[in-house]
Amino acid sequence: MTASADLRSVPRTAPAAITPQRSATGAPVSGGPELLRSVFRRHAAGVAVITARGERPVGFTATSVTSVSAEPPMISFGVGTGSSSWPVLAEAGHVGVHLLAEGQEELAATFARSGADRFAPPTRWRRGPQGVPLLEGAMGFLVCRITARVPAGDHRVVLAEVLAGDVGHSGLRPLVYHQGRFTALRD
């Protein structure tokens, strides 16, 4: 959707009053981290693992991967600056973006778990283009060049240009994160 080039054609109306949201008990809910988490628990999102090459490979589970542009092909994702992967991602030139499939809940949990040796067996991986760690068995993957790291609160939004990838296996269904757990799409 694009905005109208001539804003004069948009009728001017008074802004609607914002009424505070109410919890299930009827109490008002103020904006803040808990409200954001509560609302987004209801938003189903695809699950990906982002990897990068460092002294040791790093990676984390993400539900914030978004297609940004077709020309040039670009994606974005968010990463917490307090995460163990951030120091490497802050300096990395390239990342791997792996879309996970149904049945890869344990892989997603491994890369979400703090302190885990994420690249130890049973994780299967290899070095790909630009030395990016590539996970075996992903539904599809992209190798991307980081073009920007935009500050966003306690996170950075990373913009990256797609350089290579593999669409993977066409018969696989995506892994989804909803209501605080990994799940599958229902027919």
For residue 40, the 8-state DSSP code is H
Q: What is the DSSP string of 14-36?
A: PPPPPPPEE-TTS-EE-SSHHHH
CATH assignment of the domain containing 72 = 2.30.110.10
Under a CB-based contact definition with an 8 Å cutoff, are residues 75 and 97 in contact?
yes
Q: Which of 181, 179, 142, 182 is nearest to 160 (CA)?
A: 142
Q: What is the DSSP string of 81-136?
A: TTSTTHHHHTT-SEEEEEE-BTT-HHHHHHHHSTT--TTSTT--EEE-GGG-EEET
Q: What is the pLDDT of residues 97-115, one digit of tens each?
A: 999 999 999 999 999 998 8
Pick the most confident of 11-25, 46-60, 172-186.
Answer: 46-60
Tell me the whole-structure pTM to 2 decimals. 0.80
Strand pairing partners for 165?
Answer: 142
Q: What is the pLDDT of residues 62-91, one digit of tens each?
A: 999 999 999 999 999 999 999 999 999 999
Res. 15: pLDDT tops 90: no
Assess if residue 29 is contained within a domain: no
Assess if residue 119 is contained within a domain: yes
Given this model, what pLDDT does residue 144 score? 97
Q: What is the pLDDT of residues 138-151, one digit of tens each?
A: 999 999 999 999 99
Residue that wins the pLDDT comparison between 8 and 18? 18
- Could you give phi then psi for residue 9, rounded to 5 degrees? -80, -10
Q: What is the pLDDT of residues 17-30, one digit of tens each?
A: 545 555 666 665 67
For residue 164, the 8-state DSSP code is E
Q: Which two tokens stand for residue 50?
A: 């982002």
Range of the domain at 165: 45-184
Assess if residue 36 is contained within a domain: no
Rounded to whole angstroms, what are the CA distances from 120 to 129, 130, 145? 21, 21, 25
Residue that wins the pLDDT comparison between 124 and 186? 124
Instruction: Provide the domain count of the chain.
Output: 1
